[in-house]
Structure 1
Amino acid sequence: MPKPRIVILGGGFGGLYTARALKRELKDTAEIELITAENYFVFQPLLPEVGAGSVTPIHATSPFRFLLKGVTIRKALIDSVDFATKTVTVFQGVQRRPTEIAYDHLVVSLGQTVDLSRTPGLQDHALTMKGLEDARRLRAHVIERLEHADITNLPEVKRGALTFTVIGGGFSGIETVGEMAELIDRSLKYYPNVSRDEVRIIVLEFADKILAEMPESLAQYAGEQLEKRGIEIRLNTGIASATGTQITTTTGDTIDCRTVVATIGNAPAPVVERMDLALQHGRIAVDRDLSVPDSDGVWSLGDCALIPMKDNAADRADFAPPTAQFAVREAKQLAANIARAIRGEPRKPFEYISKGAMASLGGRRGIADVMGIRLKGFLAWLLWRAYYVAFLPGFPAKVWVLSHWVLDWVTPRSLVNLNSYTPPAARHVHYRAGDRIYETGNRADGLYTVIEGAVEIRRDTDDAPQTRRVGPGEHFGERMVFGATRRLATARALEDTTVLVLDRAHFLKLYESLPPFREYFEQHLAREGLDWPLDSRERPEAAE
């Protein structure tokens, strides 16, 4: 009998701990594969500390190949799932070639993404705190604002540069603002032209309290501590719109602000939306045993799954919260149920009672509610750090994080601002004669305009191959930009060629913003006999 193949989509807490638990449960009797966009696990509770510089980005991560011995790791972009044939299609490698991976059991643990599009301007001007790059970018952004404020001679520019706003008063928002304030306060002595009185840090929370999941006394203490450190907390206030220099609140106030951090707007990942699975409140509906109803061999957990904690669950409290604490326990139960399913044994429902919650407020203060015991202040902060060091997977990561925390007590925060390289949205790419630019089935990535040289576009049809030559001033690739995820033809350089590549996201921004640009391509597509839906807002996949 062939070994059952178990494929796990996503490398967050749910994916990592499911793979670990499956390896313990099944040992070498099953093939286990984890598919993830990155080859490392990010310990998300440390992101605010990465954003404040007390922990470096690389030490908040651990390589999957260190953590998951005996599990196949595939670094690739997940495109789609065919539940009928039990295959997952991914794009992998530099050329983004499509590859199909068969499974007997599929675990969907893709977390959630951020959608800020409902608030005008927020998508374009807000920083987020979902991933490692978000935290790195926040630290660089805060330091850049301090650098600018120290040298500008324009009062209005200085006021905007020194105003920092966090949207959302949940755990992520409060921990982010606390650590951001810590970074600013400890850095100001190196900026002689900036005083603390000029710095304004604001939290906007639409509800009537921050940290709604915590007991009232601890939430009140957290608010008092933040306000003592000069952080304004505005309750019953949301954000109505944002620009590059201002935000407008739902109460009608306008705030000059060059830094907006959004910890709101959770939404399903685009690949989850494309799956033929029932969604409730933007999450995959699962049974109590973590299986997806009416889907053979499909399971889900973590932030992307709506997991009932009792039969006939209806209220929010009846479902598992999207936290790391629950994801780890869900992973253990899911792995046990897959093992039972393979052996033909009855599966068990997921049951777990929260052990409590903790939050760091920065400034060596915290709050904790652990098994009914409520702590606050320095002791709660120490407990928070001790818990997360113990929880951090991988011994090297524990050592590095602990050493950074110790050094952070006795050394100043680094103000070095290293900007990582990001390929420009518009860039020249050179090809030699005979080089393939892309192949049929590759992931669509943008619009190509020939600067010099020549390109052959070849499309295989049932009758005979169709080819055309594209020369200087002409373009190709625009068909895929308008919605499809794969190339329908192969592009090859006929001679030494230089092309200008405009990536998909920026092409769509130009298309939607410049009427002449849009009119040209609509006419071009009409001449080509194409009838595409041209409004990208109607195509969620175009925003990937």
Structure 2
Amino acid sequence: MTQGKVPHILVLGGGYVGMYTALGLQKKLRQGQARVTVVDPRSYMTYQPFLPEASAGALEPRHVVVPLRRVLRKCHVVTARVRSISHAEKKVSVEPEIGDPFDIDYDILVVALGAIARTLPIPGLADVGIGFKQVEEAIGLRNHVLDRLDIAASTTDEAVRRKALTFVFVGGGYAGAEALGELENMAQYALRYYPQISPRDMRWVLVDAADRILPEVGDEMGVYTVEELSKRGIEIRLKTFLESCVDGHVVLSKGKPFDADTIVWTAGVKANPVLADSDLPLDERGRVSASADMRVVGVDDAWAAGDNAAVPDLASDEPDATCAPNAQHAVRQAKLLAKNIVATLNGKEPKQYRHKYVGSVAGLGLYKGVAHVYGIKVKGFPAWFMHRSYHMSKMPTFNRKSRVIVDWTMALLFRREVVSLGRMRMPREEFRRAATPKP
């Protein structure tokens, strides 16, 4: 770093780790001590634990995202996708949505690119599958489910009706179980406006390759979750693989094939693949190798945290354990990462990340949930309340906390909104028809 030059800190990623690291730097850096740039393809941060409630209409989707430019007023925000990283040259190539790619030079790099859905080469998955990591996907899935109810209630073709009312979720972790629980709950509520459809007409299926779901909450709570979902008529297919879903024709490793209009893929995540186009050290899972203080191993002026980083888990008894890619670690690592960067700029030593595991909570629909916190197992309404309370405390900014609370309060006073805005996928279609001359 050139003597007297104001160091440029480049934060790759505007998710929880990237946004909170930049926010911490914005607060802790002295005037003129450094300048900060944040690069992300979206202009907002999505709080992913609230996506299931946003998809079910319990929360306004805009309230589970935080505008980066509004929060990071002292930072420069670049809305672009990272193409490659050359730390040897201290240069990152980025590509905006419109325009030519360009390079950004830096002095200090923070890699917080997060993770993407981990998919498999399953025939038909890329064509009909729906992901569940971004707010756009949550909105789209909600509209899609309600649109399927409209189709089922308006057709005389029994095969079309049966396919429209079949919903398949692949993956029994947090995202899959919570999204399924919330959307099934919403669809059951919506049926009061569809007298043509009986609750027995809908078919909800959860598929997982493991022998249990929600492993984070422990075996006992995982068994309870299976029992709770089964009581609601949801089929749980454990030790089962999705083999094909071409044109919605679902073929599982067990059982008879069937047709489904809705196939949601939540079977794990993997580190952002752009890391392969970098000269940073990676582990066998494609994550940036980091030390316990979140500095990238073997290189200077580079840091990494969150889902795309292999940070040692000092609280684990296993010698080579790394922190799991979940919201708990992202929240805590981000706050320490900003402090560590400022500490090194001030000539001090950074602190190691050590997090004592306190437990896990999961929501399974309105007033339903499971929790395993401080060794105490909780289920039903208390667990659902703990789930909401915990994630409310971690929701960024007072503004968004207040809006979420208002949404929940309004939900107690008024009935759910069950309007499908599926036509949002084609907002210009009607105008195009009107503007096209008839032959």
Q: TM-score when scaled to structure 1? A: 0.74
Could you tell me which residue of structure 2 aligns to residue 299 of structure 1? 303
Aligned equivalent of 2:293: 289
Counterpart amino acid of residue 108 in structure 2: H
Matches within 5 A, 1:109-508: 109-251=112-254, 253-280=256-283, 281-310=285-314, 318-418=321-421, 419-421=423-425
User: RCO greater where, 1 or 2, for CA within 8 Å and sep 6 or more?
Assistant: 2
The residue matched to 2:215 in structure 1 has which SS? coil
Query: Residues 3, 117 of structure 1: CA spacing in aligned structure 2 closer, same or farther, 3 A cutoff?
Result: same
1:310–1:393: structure 2 CA closer, same or farther, 3 Å change rule? closer
Give ranges in structure 1 of 5+ residues lacking alignment.
Answer: 429-544
SS of the equivalent of 2:144 reads: helix
Structure 2: distance between partners of 1:248 and 1:97: 43
**CA distance 1:115–1:355, change in 2 (3 Å):** closer
Bigger Cα displacement from structure 2, 226-235 vs 341-350: 341-350
Post-superposition shift, 1:271?
1.9
Classify the secondary structure of the residue corresponding to 1:32.
strand
CA distance in 1, matches of 2:243, 2:317: 33
Amino acid at match of 1:82: S
Give SS of 1:420's match: helix
Q: Shift in Å at residue 312 of structure 1? A: 11
Name the residue aligned to 1:541: none
Cα distance between partner residues in 1 of 2:128 and 2:282: 29
Secondary structure of the equivalent of 2:101?
strand
Alignment check: 8 A CA contact 2:13 2:38 kept: yes
Where 1:49 maps in the other structure, the secondary structure is helix
Which residue of 56, 68, 72 maps to 1:68? 72
1:482 is matched with which residue?
A: none
State the 1:314 CA deviation. Answer: 6.6
Mark the runs of 5 or more structure 2 residues left unpaired by the alignment.
433-439
Indicate whether 1:87 and 2:95 are aligned: no
The C-alpha deviation readout for 1:442-470, integer Å capped at 9, x for no partner, is xxxxxxxxxxxxxxxxxxxxxxxxxxxxx
Judge conservation of contact 2:313–2:323 (CA < 8 Å) in 1: yes
RMSD of aligned alpha carbons: 2.2
Q: What's the CA shift for 1:86?
A: 0.8
Q: Take 1:222 and 1:97, find their aligned partners in 2: how far apart are those partners? A: 49
Deviation (angstroms), 1:165: 0.8
Match of 2:43 in 1: 39
Contact 2:172–2:267 (8 Å) recurs in 1: no
String of CA shifts for 1:428-451, please: whole Å, max 9, x gaps: 9xxxxxxxxxxxxxxxxxxxxxxx
Matched-pair contact (CA < 8 Å) for 1:117–1:123: no
- Equivalent-residue separation in structure 1 for 2:370 and 2:410 (angstroms): 23
TM-score scaled by length of structure 2 = 0.91
1:291–1:300 contact (8 Å) kept in structure 2: yes
Higher alpha-carbon Rg = 1
